[in-house]
Amino acid sequence: MNEIVRREKIKSFLRCGMTDEHFKEAGIHISAFPKFTMDLCRTLRDMEKEHSANCQSAPMDIHIVAVLA
């Protein structure tokens, strides 16, 4: 019953009919999406951490000096 309701919601959202095969394939992709998103976010956080660490350890050749007028 729950799958039928879900299928009807998907059909109304897409405004078209779906075969059983298309519905199953869509379910596979939809269920994989959260994992893909979590992996993508984890990769982004790791890149931000790496970038932050690289910036902090970079040698500072530029010195800012205040000039009093």
Going by the DSSP 8-state scheme, the letter that residue 61 receives in this structure is -
| d(C-alpha 20, C-alpha 11), whole Å | 12
Side-chain-facing half-sphere of 35: CA atoms under 13 Å: 5
H/E element, 3: helix 2-14
Q: Bigger pLDDT: 3 or 43?
A: 43
What pLDDT sits at residue 44? 92
Torsions phi, psi for 19 (to 5 deg)? -75, 165
What pLDDT sits at residue 69? 61
pTM of the model: 0.45
Dump pLDDT digits (tens) for 21-63: 887 887 787 788 888 889 999 999 999 888 777 766 656 566 6
- Domain spans of the chain, in order of start: 2-57
